[in-house]
Amino acid sequence: MTIQDKEKLIARIHELKEERNAVILTHNYQVDFMAQSAAILSPQKTVLIPEILSECPMAAMITPEELIIKKKEYPDAVVVAYVNTSAQVKAHSDICCTSANAVQVVNSLDENEVIFVPDRNLALYTARYTDKKIIPWDGYCSTHHMILPEDIMLSKNTYPDAETIVHPECRPEVIDLADNVFSTGGMVTHIKKSNSRKFIIGTEIGMLHKLKKENPDKEFYPASSCAVCPSMKMNSLSNIITALEENKYVVTVPESIRKQAKKALERMLESGRGD
């Protein structure tokens, strides 16, 4: 695609935004559970997702039926659901969390046992900073799971003066090798203030674009070139235009599920966003 082609697409998106009175929400991670959460919190608004197949593989690693069984095994435990879950799983959870506030959310609970779904790596990271018993679900982000300790060591050897920052969805042995561990939002905040000029980044590779754009005077290196999420890459300027022109794909959540899932999301929002 030429620069001119890209500019035409962007101009068309701006036209459609005005025509439809639309707001385009983007996140560093762009998949279906984000659109569902928007629909849960704002049922009076039309929520569109530009690519219906842009699904989070980790969110698909747990079903509400499986969670119900796990809750029966641990009747005294509270369920903390990472936002990377379906609306149906959220509906059977007590509170949601993000990678930024997982520790804060867990420590805010009165219960001493926590079923943490679906990300085992984030659960184990959270367990480092709480006295509560964490019962992790055996799910994971396949993209972050691709980042191996060997990748971190190679990057450190290649860029010895770079600061290594990884996401808490990474494997525990990768986290052990990092200088700092942050959510994507935390990475942005930290790097802006950091005196370091070079950074090894352990998360989905697209994040480096945002970091470089906001810090043009600093250098960024992916911890692994394999850390690519195919689902996120399905979203494009072209299918955003199609979504706005054809009003697709509309994200809907059945009202009975929406009400229950909303409780878990609102409880998270009440507990704070974290760093």
CA–CA separation, 114 and 76 (whole Å): 9
Tell me if domain 59-141+255-271 and domain 147-222 are identical in fold.
yes
CATH number of the 59-141+255-271 domain: 3.40.50.10800
Tokens of 228: 């690519």
CA–CA separation, 240 and 114 (whole Å): 39
The string of pLDDT tens digits covering residues 207-251 is 999 999 999 999 999 999 999 999 988 989 999 999 999 999 999
Q: Which CATH number fits domain 147-222: 3.40.190.10, 3.40.50.10800, 3.40.50.2300, 3.30.590.10?
A: 3.40.50.10800
Percent of the chain with pLDDT over 90: 88
Domain locations in the chain as residue ranges? 3-52+236-246, 59-141+255-271, 147-222
CA–CA separation, 9 and 21 (whole Å): 18
First to last CA, the chain: 37
Please state the pTM of the whole predicted model.
0.92
The string of pLDDT tens digits covering residues 130-185 is 999 999 999 999 999 999 999 999 999 999 999 999 999 999 999 999 999 999 99
Sheet strands (E) in the chain = 78-82, 95-97, 113-117, 133-136, 163-166, 180-181, 198-202, 219-222
CA–CA separation, 228 and 205 (whole Å): 6
